[in-house]
Amino acid sequence: MNVLSQKYTGSPEKGRSIEYSRSLELLGNLYEKFPILHCTVNTKGVILDCNEMYATRTGYSKSELIGAPVFGQVSANSLVAMHEYLEIWEKKGLVENCEIWLRAKDGTVFPALLNATSLRNDQGDLVGCSIALVDETDIYRSKKDIEKANEELKLKEQLKNEFIAIASHELRTPIQPLLGFALLAKKGKVTQDAAWDGVLREARRLQQLANDILDVSRIESSSLMYKMEKVRINDLLEGVADSERANLAKDVALDLMVDEAGKELEVELDRSRITQVLTNLVGNATKFTQKGSIKIEGKTFLDKNKFEIKISDTGGGIPEHVLPKLFEKFVTKNVGDNNKNGTGLGLFISKAIVTAHNGEISVYNNAGSGAIFSIMLPIEQAKEMIS
């Protein structure tokens, strides 16, 4: 039963006095425990009283606050506003829903929503005001998080639109030659063999672009799956080297060097995806290297659970202004004459695959000539990969 509704059997006057005291006690407890910062100030802004929430949130004890100016808990960037709010209160007797920043004893600041009403004595004279402050820290943080999320969504939308525009253009690029070869063959202006060679070349280019766009879509939606298994890394590197030797220029040699520890080493990875990465990197090296050599090097770091693969060439290297953004989409599309038929997506996909393997990929220009790509992969994965 509520304490205020309990019956009192003594004199009516004493009963009313007890109930009044209990009411004051309950109101006092409510004032102290209510989850709103509350203080009472006089007409000069000196704190006459405050509740526990006000003291706790500002980091002061009640003895420190009572008798101190309320401006001592106001952040420097809100002092002018606080004076303006008190002027409004003096004129209107009320301040509603005004934002202000408070400063705690430890120097931290936080936002609060201020409301104030006038206090008068029995004669109706203005003696001060009652200030209630709602801590808006969580609301403000959520607001900032929402604003940040909206900005990120806008950026993603912009990037998506740019990607669609560029991808659409790139998809159209091989279609025109396909139609051209078909029309030329139909009119008898090229031989059937020449026309079919051209059609096959552009069809493969179109297929590669479609596959790359599909991979990018899966990467950005976190749906590109990996089949992890133990793979003898030397065999994988040899397979890539053998398949790419047929694409070398006449005056270019491709060498494979793996340290003794790596020749029998098994590395936990997705065979087809890492092969895709290496084929892309070695394929790029063959495009840009017309004379000299391409090297694939493997080095084992058992103490660090790492295996490094380096692919270097003696080509023209990578323009310095391109290096910082080399692994972005379409950046490599027009780097060098030999890359005109590339999709511009290979390095973006390669970085995503290596990162998904908890590895790292980097690139730098050789001091002499050419570029060096370095891939650092864990020999054993720390945890099972799920995407």
The H or E element that residue 252 is part of is strand 251-258
**What one-letter code names the amino acid at 199?**
V
Spans in the chain with pLDDT lower than 50: 1-10, 14-15, 20, 339-340, 385-387
Crossing angle for the helix pair 271-288 and 233-244, to the nearest 10 degrees: 40
Per-residue pLDDT reduced to its tens digit, 101-132 = 999 999 999 999 999 988 888 888 888 888 99
**What one-letter code names the amino acid at 233?**
I
Tell if the pTM clears 0.75, that is, is over it.
Answer: no
Helix, strand or coil, per DSSP, at residue 296: strand
Q: What is the pLDDT of residue 4?
A: 36
Q: What is the pLDDT of residue 8?
A: 40
CATH architecture group of domain 34-135 = 2-Layer Sandwich (3.30)
d(CA 120, CA 94): 13
Give me the helices (H) in the chain, please: 12-33, 52-58, 62-65, 79-92, 137-186, 192-220, 233-244, 260-263, 271-288, 346-356
Q: What is the pLDDT of residue 34?
A: 67
Structural domain spans, the chain: 34-135, 158-220, 229-378
Per-residue pLDDT reduced to its tens digit, 310-359 = 999 998 889 888 898 899 887 765 555 554 455 678 999 999 999 999 99
Q: What is the pLDDT of residue 217?
A: 84
Structure token digits, residue 64 = 């420190």
Q: What is the mean pLDDT of the chain?
A: 84
Which class in CATH covers the domain with range 229-378? alpha beta
Q: What is the pLDDT of residue 13?
A: 54
Q: What is the pLDDT of residue 220?
A: 84
d(CA 10, CA 7): 9
Cβ distance 288 to 328 under 8 Å? no
Q: What is the pLDDT of residue 3?
A: 36
